[in-house]
Amino acid sequence: MRKKKEKYNLIDALEILEKENEIPRAEMLEAIESALVTACKKNHDIDQNNKVVFNNQTGELQLFAQKQVVEESMNDNIEISLKDAKKINPQYEIGDICSIEIITKDFNRITAQTAKQVIMQKIRDSRKNSLYEKYKNYEKEIVTAVIQRIDYERKNVLLSINGLQAILPQNEQIAGERYNVNDRIKVYILEINKNSKGLQGLASRINIEFVIRLFEERIPEIHDGIVVIEAISREAGQRSKIALTSKDENVEVIGSCIGENGLKINDIIRELNGEKIDLIKYSSDSREFITSSLNPCKPIGIEVDEQLKTAKVVVNDEHLSLAIGKKGQNVRLAVKLTGYKIDIKSKTQALEEDYISEECYFTS
């Protein structure tokens, strides 16, 4: 009676596993059978093509060698003669696969050990998959994280997000930011990864999407789709340029993002550790858009080549450095924002070189 009960233990285990962990029974059996074949080869140096068969009624697992029926066997590990095969089953013919049960004294022990290992691994995988389903919605979103630990050697910041462990690597941190354990910070989740230890999120504070999600979170008009971010360029921790349009002519794009007394935009700037933000009204007119993109400088003339995607810009002499920006940052961000290669000259230079045609200058 004891032997029969042991056989039924596997059936009971599979049923419980299927109900509690939602792991299909067929999937479990396939994994156990495959693992058993490997385990038997390892423990008994069996070199045949093996197959494990499960009896759904008794719960018994049996190991069979799979041999091809041939006229005369040249390799007993993988072949069986027709004469010997017919002793097992008279219906066997040449070319058939003959199943021969392999009896080993410790097959039951190997079965129990293997089944337990496979089941435990399946449970771990199932829980990992369940957690992945729970946390995968964090991908490509902005979340609030708590700083758990700082790895000063690798300069990584280790985070906790509602139970999910995440890492903010050095190359995804805003330069100059200081982090303290237990601080709460906003991060953008690039991806959720599965590894041997479980799940781990990869976070960023420099990704352009981080700024976009901040605007969506803090500015109702953007969240509701009334104001749309058409383009953005960013040098994290220093400056961003954001081009905006409105789907409602009664909603002013810049004012809606700044808020009363600058409340909305200042809230975002604080979250970005003081990063400067230029809000620009987007225009489908490239000349007008490039002009706005060079804010805070106001060009006095622009000549655009739509085919080559280039623009020649003229500014007053005293505004040349402002237009280019510190270390070329202002014009560099304008190029990224508009998609046009922008060349800037002072008014004196432009007139000396006949840089742009007269009609390309703005009238005052």
Residue 96 neighbours by CB under 8 Å, 6+ apart: 68, 69, 85
Please tell me which residue, 112 or 162, carries the higher pLDDT value.
Answer: 162
The answer to whether 17 and 23 are in contact (CB under 8 A) is: yes
Say how far apart CA 161 and CA 347 lie, in whole Å. 54
Residue position matching structure tokens 């496979």:
118
pLDDT tens-digit profile of 327-351?
999 999 999 999 999 999 999 999 9
Tokens standing for 180? 């303290």
Q: What is the structure's pLDDT at 43? A: 61
- How large is the average pLDDT for residues 94-116? 74
Q: What is the structure's pLDDT at 63? A: 74
% of residues, the chain, pLDDT over 70? 86
Output the average pLDDT for the chain: 86
Residue 221 neighbours by CB under 8 Å, 6+ apart: 227, 246, 251, 256, 257
Residue 260 pLDDT exceeds 70? yes
Residue 128 pLDDT exceeds 80? no
**Packing angle of the helix pair 329-338, 286-293 (nearest 10 deg):** 150
Q: Which residues pair with 63 in a beta bridge?
A: 52
pLDDT tens-digit profile of 55-92?
666 667 777 878 899 999 888 878 899 999 999 899 99
pLDDT tens-digit profile of 159-205?
999 888 999 999 999 988 999 999 999 999 999 987 766 788 999 99
Instruction: Say whether 107 sits in a helix, a strand or coil.
Output: helix
Q: SS3 helix, strand, coil % of the chain, rounded to 5? A: 40, 30, 30
Q: What is the structure's pLDDT at 210? A: 97
Q: In which band, very low, low, confident or very high, does the pLDDT at 46 lie, cut at 50, 70 and 90?
A: low
Of 238, 227, 239, 233, nearest in space to 281 by CA: 227
Q: Which segment of 111-120, 143-152, 327-336 scores lowest on mean pLDDT?
A: 111-120
Residue 314 neighbours by CB under 8 Å, 6+ apart: 299, 300, 301, 302, 344, 345, 346, 347, 350, 355, 356, 361
pLDDT tens-digit profile of 274-315?
999 999 999 999 999 999 999 999 999 999 999 999 999 999
Phi, psi of 45 (to 5 degrees): 55, 40
Instruction: Say whether 117 sits in a helix, a strand or coil.
Output: helix
The answer to whether 245 and 217 are in contact (CB under 8 A) is: no
Q: What is the structure's pLDDT at 234? A: 97
Residue 2 pLDDT exceeds 60? no
Q: What is the structure's pLDDT at 27? A: 76
